[in-house]
Amino acid sequence: MFPYIVRRLLIAIPVLFGVTVFSFFIVNLAPGNPVEMFISPDATQADIELKKEALGLNDPIYVQYWRWLQNLLQGDFGYSFSTYAPVGEMVASRILPTLLLMGSALLLAYIFAIPIGVISATRQYSWIDYLTTGFSFMGISIPNFFLGLGLIYLFAVQWQILPSGGMNTLGGDGGFGDTIMHLLLPAFVLATGIAGSMVRYVRSSMLEILGQDYLRTARSKGLREFLVVNKHAFRNALIPIITVIGMDIPLLIGGAVVTEQIFQWPGLGQLTIQSILSRDYPTLMAINFIAAITVLLSNLLADILYSVADPRIKYN
């Protein structure tokens, strides 16, 4: 297993390089100029050109990329075009809130979706199956921004039992309980879509396994249905479920962009929107780089979990 992990990490290096090249060119080809976004309205064209020269924007794009790559290899993401703060510090201050939101959403989604998917498969074509299938389709279909705005209207405006946004109450103590109250709505919004798709995948995977001959043999030997379903069937259904989990982790970054903006959650998603609006190229590149690493690591984690769920899978 260890040589396989090392080999995958080595393969990830050229993949990361390709992602950075593609991202850098796409970001710089976007319409708009970062200098014109924050320079004084009465600035002359000479002032604009001087500012562009100071930021290195007049250099050819491949020169700009090479300079950015050299700084990256030294652990330096550069400085923000809009705030002049070190990009590394800006991103580092936003990672923990995003991890808290993403982790809570994943945990909440899987706690409910996996058992519900198993129950739906074992009660196929029953009212429970139809009910869970209907709710899962609703969870998949409702957009994050629509659900988020609806929950804000109900819980923050009408009933006034939960805050409408932010991570802590202004002027409050910023304690654990206050953070949890702010976390509930955005985590539920993110978890709804994940849970909806996960229920469908778990149900489909379990239905495929429940018809296997070895489960009929287990039942004929007198094993209780609980053990047949949860010990024998569920473990063999884990492979496609792990694949979906590996895809959910990077997808959450994209979903968090919209959700964090709606709830003003101070994470990477909100920073992404701010960077796009201000044409802050260094910050966008840092976020894209982190997203690429997340995708590669989640795929590697899924491969490792395959061998844990099924000992027959060996990586030579």
How high is the pLDDT of residue 255?
A: 61
Distance CA 266, CA 264 (A): 6
Inter-axis angle of helices 238-263 and 144-151, nearest 10: 60
Residues 6+ apart with CB under 8 A from 125: none
Give, for all 316 residues of the chain, the pLDDT tens digit.
Answer: 778 788 888 888 899 999 999 999 988 887 777 777 766 667 777 777 787 788 788 888 899 999 999 999 998 998 988 888 999 999 999 888 988 998 899 999 999 999 999 899 888 889 999 999 899 999 888 988 899 999 999 999 999 999 988 888 877 666 888 889 999 999 999 999 889 889 998 898 888 888 777 777 777 878 787 788 877 788 778 888 888 888 887 777 766 888 888 999 998 888 888 888 888 889 999 999 988 888 888 888 888 888 777 776 766 6
How high is the pLDDT of residue 302?
A: 83
Name the residue ranges covered by the structural domains of the chain: 94-309
The tokens for 47 are 């002032």
What are the backbone angles phi and psi of residue 222, rounded to the nearest 5°?
A: 95, 10
Distance CA 312, CA 255 (A): 35
Distance of CA 315 to the CA centre of its chain: 27
How high is the pLDDT of residue 304?
A: 82
Q: Would you tell me which CATH number, out of the four given (3.90.1150.10, 3.40.30.10, 3.60.10.10, 1.10.3720.10), belongs to the domain 94-309? A: 1.10.3720.10
Q: Determine contact, residues 233/210, Cβ cutoff 8 Å.
A: yes
Q: Determine contact, residues 229/114, Cβ cutoff 8 Å.
A: no
How high is the pLDDT of residue 210?
A: 82
Indicate left, alpha or beta for 116 from its phi (over 0: left) and psi (-120 to 50: alpha): alpha
How high is the pLDDT of residue 5?
A: 81
